[in-house]
Amino acid sequence: MQAQFTFLGHPTYADPRTFGAQFGRAATGQAARACRVMQLELLKCMVRRNKTDMLCGRKILELTPKAISLVEVEFGRQERQLYKVLEAKAINRVNELRRVSDARTDCTWWTNVLH
């Protein structure tokens, strides 16, 4: 998130030290407040759009048609082992994030993703 504030040129949170003090590890126990502050700051400097929005009678985004090309690849023994290890880690992480987000009603779960 800090990189997004830097990209947006935010006057306060573009600085990593200031961002870390305000939001790092959910500002030492004040995660709900830190989350709300972040949401309010992002609302000030971002405009949500989607690909069907129009501006001056034209779509704001024109995408080329999506082309999907499936290519089957045979893994060697070592490649298959590495793939299985990485796949298991990814599945465990997604399941962990689901459990955490399902258990909480506020937005503090995202701080675990960042750290």
Kindly indicate the confidence band of residue 75, based on its pLDDT and cuts at 50, 70 and 90: very high
Does a structural domain hold residue 6? yes
Kindly indicate the confidence band of residue 79, based on its pLDDT and cuts at 50, 70 and 90: very high
CA distance 97 to 70: 29
CA distance 35 to 50: 24
Structural domain including 88 reads 2-50+69-114
In the chain, the percentage of residues whose pLDDT exceeds 70 is 83
Tally of structural domains, the chain: 1
Does a structural domain hold residue 35? yes
Does a structural domain hold residue 60? no
CA distance 91 to 98: 11
SS3 58: strand
Predicted model pTM: 0.38
Does a structural domain hold residue 63? no
Does a structural domain hold residue 41? yes
What is the separation, in whole angstroms, between the first and last Cα of the chain?
Answer: 12
Does a structural domain hold residue 57? no
Does a structural domain hold residue 59? no
Does a structural domain hold residue 16? yes
